[in-house]
């Protein structure tokens, strides 16, 4: 498989250099760059979906799309300028960028299968951008409207509601909190009144790690009646600050948010919620990656079933996602491991399997795509700026099947890239 994959990389690089059809234009006054780039115009088999991430570069942010084949493997396909720029968190005291996890978040890009739309953050220009997904060719995107202010500084996470007609964004800079927007498929995003709400964190723009709490992720509740955001703590201090989940109620009549949020503290031994995922079949429960311990289950109804599970991590568990086929959750460790977790009917969580691989170094955000016969997990990785692909064959039986190098292809096409690709979202064609 490795020799085949290297052959694909070489072929893609050739396509990138010879068949790049993008023009050079000025976009929203931020930078001059390519509006579109096509890496591979010849696909051997009809793709069943697409996987997306953003480059998050300060000199131009791009959405990159890769075709998903029927076997779950990827072929890098195209890139689209967002009309905004990226940015990176900085370290307290030095002001230097802190490494490849530029946004320190989960969900920098989000997809709606209900409305065939994609939305992404532009942390450096404090904006968000909306795209239309071609449902017959999901790696073909069309920008809708203009990038719009995120309602704050340094947006890092974004989410759709169930219908795909509303998005909310989480800002983590000096002006931090949330804002929500109507999704108009022809005009673009339109701010919803009374949805800009603040967390009042002591932060900077770009956000600083190690000096105060940072935001993690934004998500709608399963029934769209609440908006949830994770706020990471400051550990070990002094003084130690424990993270929490902030919850705003959503008014059914006009989509406005409650003026104040309700903070939900983690249970005993839980400290630092980062990325989180709704627990299947539960309206008021989530599993959150905890960079200090392992993972935390939040029972948001009354807290009676909340618990924290300590895991012997390789680095820090920061991201999470769910597989409908296996019924399990996949917690991603930045140190190079994936922990498969089962949650029983009493909201008790346990580790089913731990997957380590020399191919999976410096892991980041991930997402699961459900094809007809199987589920596949796609994870961004720092090592050579790759996407790592795992086939989720059965509970406890995941298998690493591909390591797709994206850096060489993007650089050959003139797309700015360093080591800070962010976010991961997938779209699967309707059958």
| pLDDT one-digit tens code per residue, 233-285 | 876 666 567 899 999 999 999 999 999 999 999 988 788 899 999 999 999 99
Binned at pLDDT 50, 70 and 90, residue 52 comes out as very high
Per-residue pLDDT tens for 94-115?
Answer: 777 767 788 999 999 999 999 9
Concatenating the DSSP letter of every residue in 312-330 gives: --SS-EEEEEEETTTTEEE
Per-residue pLDDT tens for 11-48?
Answer: 333 223 323 333 333 333 344 456 888 887 555 568 99
pTM: 0.91
Give the E-state strand segments of 259-301 in sequence order: 262-264, 273-278, 285-290, 294-299
Three-state DSSP class for 413? coil
Which pLDDT score is estimated for 41?
56
Q: 23-37, 161-175, 185-199: which range is least confident on average?
A: 23-37
Which pLDDT score is estimated for 408?
85
d(CA 404, CA 51): 12
d(CA 261, CA 412): 46
Three-state DSSP class for 2? helix
Tokens of 346: 């009493």
User: What pairs with residue 143 in β-bridges?
Assistant: 131
d(CA 276, CA 300): 13
Per-residue pLDDT tens for 261-274?
Answer: 999 999 887 888 99
Tokens of 189: 């995003």
Structural domains of the chain, ranges and CATH numbers in brackets = 2-428 (2.130.10.10)
Q: Which residue has the tokens 């980062």?
A: 274
Which pLDDT score is estimated for 106?
97
Distance of alpha carbon 293 from the chain centroid:
21
Q: Please give the backbone phi and psi of residue 81, each rounded to the nearest 5 degrees, phi first.
A: -65, 135
Within 13 Å of residue 77, how many CA atoms lie on the same side as its CB? 25
Nearest alpha carbon to residue 102 among 114, 87, 92? 87
């Amino acid at each position: 498989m490795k020799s085949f994959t290297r052959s694909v990389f070489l072929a893609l690089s050739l396509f990138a250099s010879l068949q790049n059809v993008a023009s050079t234009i000025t976009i929203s006054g931020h930078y001059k760059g390519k509006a579109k780039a096509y890496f591979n115009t010849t696909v051997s088999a009809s793709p069943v979906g697409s996987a997306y991430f953003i480059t998050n570069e300060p000199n131009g942010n791009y959405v990159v799309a890769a075709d998903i084949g029927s076997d779950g493997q990827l072929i890098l396909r195209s890139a689209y300028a967002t009309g905004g720029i990226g940015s990176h968190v900085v370290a307290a005291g030095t002001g230097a960028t802190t490494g490849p996890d530029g946004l320190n978040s989960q969900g920098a890009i989000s997809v709606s299968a209900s409305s065939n739309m994609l939305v992404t953050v532009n942390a450096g220009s404090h904006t968000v951008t909306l795209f239309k997904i071609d449902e017959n060719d999901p790696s073909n995107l069309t920008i809708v409207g203009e990038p719009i202010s995120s309602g704050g500084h340094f947006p890092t996470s974004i989410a759709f509601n169930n219908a795909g007609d509303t998005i909310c964004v989480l800002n983590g800079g000096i002006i931090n909190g949330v804002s929500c927007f109507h999704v108009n498929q022809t005009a673009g995003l339109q701010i919803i009144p009374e949805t800009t709400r603040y967390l009042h964190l002591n932060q900077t723009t770009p956000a600083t790690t190690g000096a105060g709490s940072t935001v993690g992720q934004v998500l709608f509740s399963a029934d769209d009646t609440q908006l949830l955001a994770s706020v990471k703590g400051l550990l070990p201090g002094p003084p130690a600050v424990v993270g929490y989940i902030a919850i705003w109620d959503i008014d059914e009549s006009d989509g406005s948010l409650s003026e104040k949020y309700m903070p939900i503290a983690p249970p005993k031994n839980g400290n630092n919620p980062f990325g989180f995922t709704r627990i299947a079949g539960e309206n008021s429960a989530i599993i959150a990656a905890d960079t200090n311990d392992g993972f935390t289950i939040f029972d948001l109804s009354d807290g009676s079933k909340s618990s924290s599970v300590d895991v012997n991590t390789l680095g820090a568990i920061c991201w999470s996602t769910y597989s409908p086929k296996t019924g399990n959750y996949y917690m991603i460790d930045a140190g190079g491991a994936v922990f498969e977790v089962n949650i029983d009917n009493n909201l008790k969580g346990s580790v089913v399997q731990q997957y380590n691989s020399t191919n999976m170094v410096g892991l980041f955000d991930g997402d699961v795509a459900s094809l007809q016969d199987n589920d596949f997990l796609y994870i961004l990785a720092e090592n050579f700026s790759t996407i790592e692909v795992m086939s989720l064959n059965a509970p406890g039986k995941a298998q690493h099947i591909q390591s797709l190098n994206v850096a060489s292809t993007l650089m050959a096409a003139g797309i700015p890239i360093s080591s800070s690709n962010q976010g991961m979202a997938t779209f699967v064609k309707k059958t």
